[in-house]
């Protein structure tokens, strides 16, 4: 079994993550997003649009899942995390997560009302590697 530190190191190497929300009918909705901008313990911070379908779903239902996948020549690894997602509008966290290139998407800068931070708090997960899986708690 990988340690939490090893799992975080694998996640930090990924450029893409897959985020799942739950729609009004209870069905999962999955979207590819950039990797988290910050990882603190079992919390992962993403940048997105407040007006996006995903943000609106998380406002109504905070249940979420995030998946990371690494494909090597001989080794394939996947990490599924289950937890909750908060939509943060606090200017302090928005400033901390902001990156220079974000101005392309958010014309009003950090204070743009359509810019928000998604904070995912993982509760447990499942690790996959070469046809073997293991559950873990965080």
Q: What is the pLDDT of residue 89?
A: 95
| pLDDT digit string, tens, across residues 12-63 | 999 999 999 999 999 999 999 999 999 999 999 999 999 999 999 999 999 9
This prediction has a pTM of 0.92
Residues 58 and 105: their CA atoms lie apart, in Å, by: 21
- Which residues fall within 8 angstroms of residue 128, CB to CB, at 6 or more apart? 76, 77, 78, 79, 80
Q: What is the pLDDT of residue 8?
A: 87
Backbone angles phi, psi at 114, to 5 degrees: -90, 5
| pLDDT digit string, tens, across residues 120-131 | 999 999 999 888
| pLDDT digit string, tens, across residues 68-83 | 998 876 778 999 999 9
């Amino acid at each position: 079994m990988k340690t939490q530190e090893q799992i975080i190191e694998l996640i930090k190497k990924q450029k893409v993550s897959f985020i799942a929300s739950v729609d009004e009918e209870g069905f999962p909705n999955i979207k590819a997003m950039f990797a988290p901008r910050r990882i603190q313990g079992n919390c992962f911070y993403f940048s997105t649009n407040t007006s996006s379908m995903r943000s609106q779903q998380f406002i109504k239902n905070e249940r979420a899942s995030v998946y990371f996948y690494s494909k090597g020549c001989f080794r394939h690894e996947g990490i599924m995390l289950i937890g909750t997602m908060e939509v943060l509008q606090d200017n302090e966290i928005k400033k901390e997560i902001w990156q220079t290139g974000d101005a392309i998407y958010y014309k009003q800068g950090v204070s743009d009302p359509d810019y928000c931070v998604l904070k995912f708090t993982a509760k447990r997960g499942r690790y996959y590697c070469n046809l073997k899986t293991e559950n873990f708690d965080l």
